[in-house]
């Protein structure tokens, strides 16, 4: 089993504790995290990516308890093994498209996937030297997906990747994430409240505010 989430709970400062369901995900599998607005979906994704530390429980990725790693060890483990697609692209404005991807290789201390191949796969090869400030929203989002895939991670986490897209682009982005995940044998976890995504990925867990 690639990823195991066990007895996880978390409380933001001044907020009620959120308890999350247990689940496992294998390499090559896709899973949706569903739930109402404010139920804790992004919080769970941040726990899985080691961006937050749980109040109780554990996240085990490839036999490593992420929640027991700290500082540089955690950053390096995340850089090598986890690719995160955030709600907003968060690209570095001073760097062009190619450099934004190469930065991921640098932080992951890993050669990973070839930048040219990745840009071609995601249909943005002709933008390699463009400033990220000149990209359309959809292009910027594809660059952020390419960056998450650059190190060929074992786990891909995506937070609401389709919320601002129309139906046809929603389908394209989900296909892209699934195709890329299966190409590198990664597990794919997508947070969404977009009902359209359920048509493409039937496997889901639901986060409920208690």
Contact footprint for ligand ATP (CB under 6 A) = 12-13, 15, 35, 37-43, 193
Minimum distance from residue 159 beta carbon to ligand ATP (Å): 8
Nearest in space to 188 (alpha carbons), one of 28, 66, 10: 28
Q: Which is nearer to ligand ATP, 39 or 81 (CB)?
A: 39
Smallest distance from the beta carbon of 41 to ligand ATP, in angstroms? 4
Q: How far is the CB of 76 from ligand ATP (least distance, A)?
A: 25
Tell which residue, 98, 86, 83, has the closest CA to residue 149: 83
From 124, 79, 80, 63, select the one nearest 98 (Cα to Cα): 124
Give the distance, in angstroms, between the CA of residue 112 and the centroid of all CA atoms in the same chain: 16
- Bridge partners of 208, per DSSP, are none
Question: How far from chain centre, in Å, is Cα 176?
Answer: 13
Cα–Cα distances (Å) from 129 to 101, 134, 161, in that order, read 11, 11, 24
197 alpha-carbon distance from chain centroid: 15
State which residue, 44 or 140, has the beta carbon closest to ligand ATP. Answer: 44
Q: How far is the CB of 13 from ligand ATP (least distance, A)?
A: 6
How near is the Cβ of 34 to ligand ATP at its closest, in Å?
A: 9
Structure tokens at 82: 């986890």
Choose between 43 and 144: whose C-beta lies nearer to ligand ATP. 43
- Toward ligand ATP, which CB reaches closer, 121 or 160? 160
Give the Cα separation of 96 and 110 in Å (integer): 20
Q: Which residues contact 71 (CB under 8 A, 6 or more apart)?
A: none
Question: Minimal CA–CA distance to 191: which of 165, 164, 159?
Answer: 159
**Could you give the angle at the alpha carbon of 121 between the alpha carbons of 120 and 122, nearest 5°?**
90
Nearer to ligand ATP, 172 or 193 (CB): 193
> Residue 43 Cβ, how far from ligand ATP at the closest point, in Å?
3
Residue closer to ligand ATP by CB (options 41, 127) is: 41
């Amino acid at each position: 089993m690639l990823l195991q989430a066990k007895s996880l709970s978390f409380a933001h400062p001044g907020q009620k504790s959120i308890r999350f369901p247990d689940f496992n995900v294998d390499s090559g599998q896709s899973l949706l995290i569903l739930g109402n607005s404010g139920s804790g979906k992004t919080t769970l994704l941040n726990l899985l990516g080691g961006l937050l530390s749980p109040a109780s429980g554990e996240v085990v990725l490839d036999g490593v308890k992420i929640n027991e790693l700290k500082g540089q060890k955690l950053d390096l483990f995340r850089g090598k093994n986890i690719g995160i697609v955030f709600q907003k692209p968060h690209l570095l404005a001073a760097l062009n498209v190619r450099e934004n991807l190469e930065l991921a290789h640098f932080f992951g201390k890993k050669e990973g996937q070839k930048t040219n191949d990745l840009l071609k796969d995601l249909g943005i090869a002709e933008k390699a030297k463009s400033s990220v400030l000149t990209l359309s929203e959809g292009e910027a989002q594809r660059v952020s997906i390419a960056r998450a895939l650059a190190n060929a991670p074992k786990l891909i986490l995506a937070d609401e990747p389709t919320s601002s897209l129309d139906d046809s682009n929603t389908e394209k982005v989900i296909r892209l994430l699934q195709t890329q995940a299966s190409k590198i044998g990664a597990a794919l976890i997508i947070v969404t409240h977009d009902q359209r995504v359920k048509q493409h990925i039937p496997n889901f867990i639901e986060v409920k505010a208690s």
